Chains A and B, each alone.
Chain A
Amino acid sequence: MHSTPPTPQTLLEGAAMWALLESILSSGTLARFIGLVENEVFEAKGSAAYPLDTAGNRYELAKDVVAFANANGGLIAVGVRTRPDPVHEIDTVYELDLVTEPAFKAAQILGVIKEHVYPKVTGLQVQWVSNNEDKSLGVGIVRIPAQSEEAKPFIITRVVEGSEPVRPIVVGYAIRKGANSEPITAIEMQQALRNGMSPNAQRLTRIEQKLDTLLDRKIDRQATPEEDRVSTRIEDLLRDA
């Protein structure tokens, strides 16, 4: 579906944008996406977004989810195209690029997120919403509700360098700033850890603690001696291969 380049009609933020997005999705009138601008709670993607066949693409999906989870939550819509608005210098939805339900691999996207993001994102939803005008087409939605501060920071457990996955002891941290998902740099992380800047220092302290947890393979629960017994035997058997 094409349209003439729109003027950004809706420069909404936060709760107002959430309400508008939910209204569009519940109505099924997906043309209402046109004119929306990306911001701290809304990311627009074309239909070819998030092919899951490479580590790099899976990382991109995880980065976007983590960025929203570390901020105030957000919604990613797959099946809408944006381009920069020359006047306002923000990415604005200018046309629909709808997808069929099979093409939006909701279960696989959910699985990738579960595998690549820690801790678990509460209330995460991945679904396809049909368009009223042609119900065979629609948008894919990744809905990341606002997460509790106690759960943060969220981290990307598998990062890539070039196109190669890096060993899982290296993790990534990203946060939504305006309309961008920005990874924190190593220098920023080191300075925050060293200087004890609050609240970032508190969050980064939690990153350290959660890294230790991941490295000790004690995610989410305390292993009982019985679990250790069986898991140790499984690891021995795999090492023996």
Chain B
Amino acid sequence: MSRPMYVIAASVPTGNRIRGFFEHGAESVRSLLEHPPVFRWAGFDLTTLDSARLIDGDKYEVSNGDRKKIQLFQDGTLLFRAAADNEFLGWGQAPEWFQRDPRLNPLAVVEANTSFVHLYSKLVPHLVSKPSSVQIQLTLRNAEINQTRLYLTEFYKLGIQNIHNPRRYLAHGVNMEEKFHIPVDEISHRPNEAAYKVVLSFCTFFDFPEEKIPFVVGGNGQRAIEPSQFEK
């Protein structure tokens, strides 16, 4: 059985590269991968507790089993692969439960995507030339288990177990991708607004209504994710 997987990628036009890619130290990109920005302790973020490995001479990699894997290429491409099942983005059930009820955790979805954007915002200053925009590519693969599609629900503060028959927003495909550009200034200086666009795009995989996206502040055209609202 192919496991549900989610990959988010950020890239800049060919020809760019990361200055000081091979350097060590607290200010290096290597250190950023090992200590990515977090919003709270033990959140659904990009922390892997791993040491960055240089692979093929042009990319660093950190991972936490198959749950999370992050790759950073010398040309400024950042990839984050997350298990879209009970091990990370899915509700924290045992594997056999998730196979019967493949529900994604809206908090994990929002926090993981927001964490990725914040990490890339820290990488942008390391690029040799500043691009005008960053390409974001979202890929959701194998979004079906035993002919049952992965699904999202709203975020329920009191816990979904207290909600009778919560509405399910099913993945409308098995293998999906979305691609778009975000201005680099937005990623650098307003990462929470950029993160909102990423989360919104992810939600289109499930036809999930925009107005139900949790942890959002702001009005029309100025919406942003508010990480302080992530709760344990």
Show the binding face of A for B, using Cβ within 8 Å: 52-55, 107-108, 110-112, 114-115, 163, 165, 225-227, 229-231, 233-234, 237-238, 240-241
With A and B bound together, what is the CA distance between A81 and B66 in angstroms? Answer: 50
Decide yes or no: A229 and B173 within 8 Å by CB, A237-B69, A241-B5 being known contacts: no
Residues of chain A with a CB closer than 8 A to B14's CB: 225-226, 229
Pick the residue among A52, A53, A238 that contacts B5 (CB under 8 A): A238
Max count, chain B CB within 10 A of own CB: residue among A112, A115, A227, A238: A238
In order of increasing CB-CB distance, the 8 nearest A-B pairs are: A111-B172, A107-B207, A115-B173, A230-B11, A237-B81, A234-B7, A226-B14, A234-B139
Other A-B pairs beyond A226-B14, A230-B9, A241-B5, 12, CB < 8 Å: A107-B172, A107-B207, A111-B172, A115-B172, A115-B173, A229-B77, A230-B135, A234-B9, A238-B139, A241-B3, A241-B66, A241-B83
Contact between chains at A108 and B170 (CB < 8 Å): yes
Q: How far is the CB of B210 from chain A (nearest CB, A)?
A: 12
With A and B bound together, what is the CA distance between A217 and B79 in angstroms? Answer: 21
With A and B bound together, what is the CA distance between A54 and B149 in angstroms? Answer: 9
Residues of chain A with a CB closer than 8 A to B3's CB: 241
- B201 interfacial by beta-carbon distance below 8 Å: no
- B148 interfacial by beta-carbon distance below 8 Å: yes
Contact between chains at A230 and B77 (CB < 8 Å): yes
Contact between chains at B9 and A108 (CB < 8 Å): no
- B73 interfacial by beta-carbon distance below 8 Å: yes
Contact between chains at B7 and A238 (CB < 8 Å): yes
Contact between chains at B170 and A52 (CB < 8 Å): yes
Q: What would 17 A/B residue contacts be, using CB atoms closer than 8 Å? A: A52-B170, A53-B148, A53-B149, A107-B172, A115-B173, A115-B176, A165-B147, A226-B13, A229-B77, A230-B11, A230-B77, A233-B9, A234-B9, A237-B71, A237-B79, A238-B7, A241-B3
Pick the residue among B79, B147, B179 that contacts A233 (CB under 8 A): B79
Interface residue SS majority, chain A: helix
Q: How far is the CB of B26 from chain A (nearest CB, A)?
A: 27
Residues of chain A with a CB closer than 8 A to B139's CB: 234, 238
- What residue of chain A has the Cβ atom nearest to residue B208's Cβ? A107
Q: How far is the CB of A50 from chain B (nearest CB, A)?
A: 13
Decide yes or no: A108 and B7 within 8 Å by CB, A237-B71, A237-B81, A238-B139 being known contacts: no
With A and B bound together, what is the CA distance between A237 and B72 in angstroms? Answer: 12
Contact between chains at A226 and B11 (CB < 8 Å): yes
Contact between chains at B172 and A234 (CB < 8 Å): no
Decide yes or no: A111 and B77 within 8 Å by CB, A54-B147, A234-B139, A237-B7 being known contacts: no
Residues of chain A with a CB closer than 8 A to B66's CB: 241
Max count, chain A CB within 10 A of own CB: residue among B9, B147, B149: B147
Q: How far is the CB of B195 from chain A (nearest CB, A)?
A: 20
With A and B bound together, what is the CA distance between A7 and B179 in angstroms? Answer: 53
Q: How far is the CB of A157 from chain B (nearest CB, A)?
A: 10
Q: Which of B71-103 contact A (CB under 8 A)?
A: 71, 73, 77, 79, 81, 83
